[in-house]
Structure 1
Amino acid sequence: MRRLPRVPGFHRIARIERIPRTRRDWAADLALVLFAACFAAVSSQSIPVADSVGPAWRAADQAAGGLACAAVLLRRRWPVQLAVVLLLAGTQAHYLTGPALVAVFTVAATRPWRVTAWVAALAFAPLPLFLWRLPDMTEDRAGPAVTYFALIAGAIGWGLFRRSRQQLIASLRERAELAEADAESRAQRVRMEVREEIAREMHDVLGHRLSLLSVHAGALEYNPGAAPAETARAAGVIRESAHLALHDLREVIGVLRSGTGIDTAEGRRPQPELADLERLVAEAREAGGRIELTGPPDGPAPPALAGRTAYRIVQEALTNARKHAPGATVRVKVAGVPGERLTVEVHSGRPPGPVPETGPDRGPGVGGEGGGQGLVGLVERARLAGGGLTAGPADDGFRVEAWLPWQN
């Protein structure tokens, strides 16, 4: 099939012509054929006919009108050609006015503005001559001519209105489809964000619990001759850490199965706050960590989101310090002023022994086993809270610095 030229506003209409007519299309075409025939029959009594016109010419005129009414069925395939032929032949045959109105309407309703303008110019080409001869015309000839031009103008105007309405409907349908696709995309993006939040929650909580479990299990493995009290304490910490890790894992899996978001899960269990930092540091010290905590600041507590984010930053930094710098001194400093910002600084010194392999360009705090995803999650957490985070090697270890907004 020959490819049609791409004309603005025309490609959708041209595509319709390649589709077979539906029952509705056939009903519309037959209704227009009936309209053209009825128009010719009703207006035949008001058509002025000269006395010199014989019966043969009248019969030919009526036959041409009948053929023109039947030709209306071709209006979908050749609307412009049909309109031009009927307009030119209509200057000599009186019964072609009805079919010509249908053809002109079809051109205005289905073809571009430029094509419609050319057909309209052809239809109104006799108008200047008519206006020039109007003072010398009799009333019975001037009236039908004025009616003809008015009907042609009405057909073109109605066709343009129908074409504009079709374009408006197509535009609204396209907008609705785009809005539906955009809504689905937003819903998918929200689902991905919720899953990422759940993944960060699992990484932070389970990483901390499992790192404590690993430290105590390693102490039992490398110190089999420890005192029974120390062995019992380490075993108790291992049991408690494993129990809490399983509890957190069940909650996260429950959230995934139920399809609810992390916010719903947070509403069902208490979330850590900035005041819980002392408990977090105490757990790390029990595992053998050398932690120095400065802060949190006295006075009013920061907003829940800022406090929880600061807690997670410190938790992840301590977990990574245990992994990549065991035995090193970790300095945690939390400061801030209400109405300004909350700052978090975690500095991990160099370990007293050999540094574990963490991969290229990775230092303590990056999360070697996690492929660097711990630091990426911290940056994302700080960004979602409206703040920022930087991390990287320092002269004497590794440093994580973050700031969070502290609104009153």
Structure 2
Amino acid sequence: MGDEVRRRRSARDWAVDSLVFVIGLFGSLWLYDDGSRDAVSPTFLAFDFCAGMALCLTLWFRRRWPVQLALIAAALATFSDAASGPTLLLVMTVAVYKPLRTTLAVCAAHAVALGIYFAVRPKPDPLPALIVAAIAIYAAAVGWGLYLRSRRQLLQTLRDRADRAETVARLQAQQAQLRAREEIAREMHDVLGHRLSLLSVHAGALAYRPDATTAEVAGAAEIIRASAHQALQDLREVIGVLRAPVGELPQPTFADLPVLVEDSRKAGLPVELDFDAPGTLPDHVGRTAYRIVQEGLTNALKHAPGAPVRVKVTGAPGNGLEVEVSNPAPKSKAGEGQGLRGLSERAALVEGRLEHGRTPEGDFRLAAWLPWPA
């Protein structure tokens, strides 16, 4: 509440403070006793009136010093009728802006002031009725102030919750963007890595085959051109997704596996495909199987060019899908590289398993089991 009290007064604050000043001034004039019922001197009455008017002026500063002004009002309330109106407003202000303990302390000071008032300025009316009426009026003012305070706190709590919800939503959106970028980076590794491996194999064949015929050179150059063109297209698709406000990276499907194997064969990699998986796989499982085979062929091109590769894809709904890529690879670096780690994450995301490493025969084996609901 302190910041609210000290901030620059807004147009709404000016309007509220003006209304409070008018109410306090009206209350002072209405409750002012001109001496018709009390045998007091004109000087005392004039001092009473001036005290009430001065206290009305302090209402303009009630937000800045609520407790101090309420205690001054308690001192003036010990003798002044004209101070009654602004006194109630100042007590209510304490209840609005200060904790309950402070409000009760101010109320205790005013209770003492009220007792002094009845001792200094006795009234012809029954004293118990006046005391009950004064207590009821003070209780109403304090109760209204406490209601306003609780309402302000509730609104502030709702605003804080809305701000926190907005912040959480913004952080979640940022995390979703980061996850999307990580997925795109993984797709770039999988797609472009395979394409560039094909380019490397054919370029290396041209470099180490100076005796190649014109037709063989032309064929290899055409494959290099086609692979480079496809790699460029894949890169354009990825960049297009990064630039677009909404969109998804084009994903391969399980049905594209034969095309992937055929591309590797054209690159000079002898691939034997054992495909026995009738039925329709879920899209996310099919993409994962495709990426596993793609990574296995890419590693074979890198570490064992020309060595035979066996790809086995078998499974059925309800039993799961088994994917295995194996090749003789004495120079392979099993367990290294981001690609295999990324495949392990992919398999885990679809609740599957992946393992890789050398077999007792010296082959490198990449195998995975992926769920296939019935």
What TM-score do you get using the length of structure 1 for normalisation? 0.78
Per-residue Cα deviation, 1:120-173 (whole angstroms, up to 9, x for no partner): 34445689999xxxxxx9755444433322221121112112222222222222
CA contact (8 A) 1:317 1:365 kept: no
Where 1:65 maps in the other structure, the secondary structure is helix
Q: Which residue of 2 aligns with 1:62?
A: 49
Give me the whole-angstrom Cα distance separating, in 1, the residues matched to 2:211 and 2:13: 94
Superposed, which structure 2 residues align to 1:159-308 within 5 Å?
159-262=145-248, 265-266=249-250, 271-297=251-277, 299-308=278-287
Report which stretch shifted further, 90-99 or 313-322. Answer: 90-99
Superposed, which structure 2 residues align to 1:112-127 within 5 Å?
112-124=99-111
CA contact (8 A) 1:334 1:345 kept: yes
* Aligned-partner residue type, residue 405 of structure 1: P
CA contact (8 A) 2:31 2:84 kept: no
Where 2:368 maps in the other structure, the secondary structure is strand
* Aligned-partner residue type, residue 286 of structure 2: G
Per-residue Cα deviation, 1:27-74 (whole angstroms, up to 9, x for no partner): 4333322211201212336x9975433333322222221222122233
**Equivalent residue in structure 2 for 1:91, among 36, 61, 78:** 78
**Equivalent residue in structure 2 for 1:25, among 13, 29, 54:** 13
Gaps of 5+ in 1: 1-12, 131-136, 357-362, 367-371
Aligned pair in 2 of structure 1 residues 51, 106: CA closer, same or farther (>3 Å)?
closer
Where 1:95 maps in the other structure, the secondary structure is coil
Per-residue Cα deviation, 1:257-293 (whole angstroms, up to 9, x for no partner): 333322xx53xxxx53334323322332333324343
CA contact (8 A) 2:77 2:114 kept: no
* Aligned-partner residue type, residue 297 of structure 2: L
Aligned pair in 2 of structure 1 residues 308, 84: CA closer, same or farther (>3 Å)?
same
* Aligned-partner residue type, residue 385 of structure 1: V
CA contact (8 A) 1:90 1:97 kept: yes
CA contact (8 A) 2:78 2:113 kept: no
* Aligned-partner residue type, residue 252 of structure 2: P
Give me the whole-angstrom Cα distance separating, in 2, the residues matched to 1:280 and 1:94: 97
Give me the whole-angstrom Cα distance separating, in 2, the residues matched to 1:364 and 1:282: 25
Give me the whole-angstrom Cα distance separating, in 2, the residues matched to 1:345 and 1:60: 102
Where 2:32 maps in the other structure, the secondary structure is helix
Gaps of 5+ in 2: 118-122
Q: Which residue of 1 aligns with 2:347?
A: 382
Per-residue Cα deviation, 1:219-263 (whole angstroms, up to 9, x for no partner): 12212223455444333322322232233233333333333322x
What TM-score do you get using the length of structure 2 for normalisation? 0.85
Give me the whole-angstrom Cα distance separating, in 2, the residues matched to 1:339 and 1:39: 85
Q: Which residue of 2 aligns with 1:311?
A: 290
CA contact (8 A) 2:309 2:327 kept: yes
Per-residue Cα deviation, 1:330-360 (whole angstroms, up to 9, x for no partner): 3433333413532323334323xxx37xxxx
CA contact (8 A) 1:348 1:398 kept: yes
Aligned pair in 2 of structure 1 residues 161, 390: CA closer, same or farther (>3 Å)?
farther
Give me the whole-angstrom Cα distance separating, in 1, the residues matched to 2:358 and 2:136: 85
1:314 Cα shift? 0.9
CA contact (8 A) 2:201 2:305 kept: no
* Count of residue correspondences: 368
1:322 Cα shift? 1.2
Aligned pair in 2 of structure 1 residues 229, 74: CA closer, same or farther (>3 Å)?
closer
* Aligned-partner residue type, residue 349 of structure 1: P
Alignment RMSD: 3.2
* Aligned-partner residue type, residue 72 of structure 2: V
Superposed, which structure 2 residues align to 1:98-109 within 5 Å?
98-109=85-96
Report which stretch shifted further, 154-163 or 329-338. Answer: 329-338
Report which stretch shifted further, 169-178 or 153-162. Answer: 169-178
1:89 Cα shift? 3.5
**Equivalent residue in structure 2 for 1:41, among 24, 29, 34:** 29
Per-residue Cα deviation, 1:276-332 (whole angstroms, up to 9, x for no partner): 3233223323333243433342x3121122112101111012102211233444343
